[in-house]
């Protein structure tokens, strides 16, 4: 890695807009600091999903530190947990708090739940790692805006309207052929998210739902992990009109590391990721592009979070300016967090 790339990566704010790592760690019995947790993870997620076979996950606190990731969106996905969504969400949040305390005791490095852009700035200044609590599939609030408010007090700052199945709020991606969009509850949910100061994530919405959100939303629209449909036809990717709407809202798209979202062949390289970055910049402008790896959820373009510096070197070698690279690495996400969450 070149000296300039290493310096830029070290000095930049680095934000990963999506990982599934906390619930995967909880199901596997592995800790976010490495090693086995014993009975500590014997909670709702482990009980409902059974022990996974993974011995090595892509993102934990040590690999975040080694890869220079300052803040990771820690998504609690609940779509497989019918009638137990809220319990799984609460268990995942508890695992995150427990693991943050354990990592600090073991290494001396603090892990903080971040709620605002100022929290992120303090983490960067103090050398602490930041975790932003995210919900993937709004069924985690079990159709209660009162529960959403309670979760906000715990630190929830990003909510995906759906996962692939249909939720109380909207048709999921797997129901795109039905033409369903936001329900009446979904409209109220988007309005409440904006009122509280929680990011509205459209990553798993089909087009009808996306455009319903675009009509209701008054603030930034965010797709935390998706790419450009013009380059890869996967239905989770956004077409140019959607990208333009995201930019017009002041939001962003986190370019994701899933090979099937990068290339129709299902295999991909960093060059493919840069093709999507280029397209997103061309359509939206560089200030609306971020990164959302989907580590531990299929984002295998990089082996682990420790490899993040490779992205910085690749973007610089590709000819992107330092200013643009800093934005993509994290400043663009920080801007949206500041606007939405404070």
How far, in Å, CA of 199 to CA of 75, rounded? 13
Checking if the pLDDT of 51 tops 70, the result is no
Number of H helices and E strands in the chain, helices first, is 15, 9
User: Are 291 and 270 spatial neighbours (Cβ–Cβ below 8 Å)?
Assistant: no
- Report pLDDT for 54: 56
User: Are 73 and 330 spatial neighbours (Cβ–Cβ below 8 Å)?
Assistant: no
300 secondary structure, DSSP code: -
Domains in the chain, number: 1
155 secondary structure, DSSP code: T
pLDDT band at 147; cut points 50, 70, 90: very high
- Which regions of the chain does DSSP assign to beta strands (E)? 15-19, 71-77, 111-113, 129-136, 156-160, 199-201, 222-223, 252-255, 289-291
Domain that holds residue 270: 3-341
CA distances from 64 to 57, 70, 73, 105, 171 (A): 12, 7, 12, 17, 34
What is the rounded average pLDDT of the residues 160-187?
Answer: 85
User: Are 114 and 132 spatial neighbours (Cβ–Cβ below 8 Å)?
Assistant: yes
Q: Which residue has the higher pLDDT, 326 or 50?
A: 326
What tokens does 187 get? 């409209």
Which of the residue ranges 25-34, 261-270, 276-285 would you say has the lowest mean pLDDT? Answer: 25-34
What is the pTM for the complete model shown?
0.96
Span 281-332, pLDDT tens digits: 999 999 999 999 999 999 999 999 999 999 999 999 999 999 999 999 999 9
Checking if the pLDDT of 35 tops 60, the result is no
Share of the chain above pLDDT 90, in %: 81
- Report pLDDT for 40: 58
What tokens does 10 get? 């070290």
Which of the residue ranges 33-47, 161-175, 216-230, 261-275 would you say has the lowest mean pLDDT? Answer: 33-47
Question: Which residues neighbour 169 within 8 Å (Cβ) at sequence distance 6 or greater?
Answer: 138, 139, 161, 162, 182, 183, 185, 186, 189
- Report pLDDT for 36: 56
How far, in Å, CA of 238 to CA of 280, rounded? 10
- Report pLDDT for 211: 97
- Report pLDDT for 3: 64
Q: What is the CATH number of the domain that holds 38?
A: 3.20.20.140
Q: Which residue has the higher pLDDT, 53 or 66?
A: 66
């Amino acid at each position: 890695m070149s000296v300039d790339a290493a310096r830029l990566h070290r000095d930049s704010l680095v934000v990963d807009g999506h990982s599934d790592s906390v619930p995967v760690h909880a199901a596997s019995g592995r800790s976010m600091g490495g090693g086995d947790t014993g009975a500590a993870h014997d909670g709702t997620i482990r009980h409902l999903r059974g022990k996974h076979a993974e011995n090595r996950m892509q993102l934990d606190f040590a690999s975040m530190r080694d890869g220079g990731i300052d803040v990771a969106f820690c998504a609690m996905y609940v779509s497989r947990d019918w009638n137990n969504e809220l319990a799984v969400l609460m268990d995942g949040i508890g695992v995150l708090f427990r693991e943050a305390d354990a990592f600090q005791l073991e290494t001396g490095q603090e892990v903080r739940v971040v709620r605002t852009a100022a929290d992120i700035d303090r983490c960067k200044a103090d050398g602490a790692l930041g975790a932003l609590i995210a919900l993937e599939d709004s069924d985690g609030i079990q159709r209660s805006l009162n529960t959403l408010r309670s979760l906000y007090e715990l630190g929830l700052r990003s909510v995906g309207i759906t996962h692939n199945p249909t939720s109380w709020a909207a048709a999921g991606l797997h129901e795109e052929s039905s033409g369903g969009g936001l329900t009446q509850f979904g409209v109220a949910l988007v309005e409440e998210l904006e009122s509280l100061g929680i990011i509205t994530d459209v990553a798993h919405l089909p087009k009808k739902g996306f455009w319903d959100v675009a009509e209701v939303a008054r603030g930034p629209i965010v797709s935390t992990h998706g790419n450009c449909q013009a380059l890869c036809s996967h239905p989770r990717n956004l077409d140019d009109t959607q990208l333009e709407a995201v930019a017009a809202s002041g939001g962003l798209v986190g370019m994701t590391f899933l090979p099937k979202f990068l290339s129709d062949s299902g295999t991909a390289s960093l060059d493919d990721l840069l093709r999507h970055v280029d397209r997103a910049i061309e359509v939206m402008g560089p200030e609306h592009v971020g990164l959302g790896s989907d580590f531990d959820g299929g984002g295998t373009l990089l082996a682990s979070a420790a490899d993040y510096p490779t992205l910085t070197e690749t973007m610089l070698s590709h000819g992107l300016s330092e200013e643009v690279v800093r934005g993509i690495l994290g400043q663009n996400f920080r801007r949206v967090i500041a606007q939405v969450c404070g």
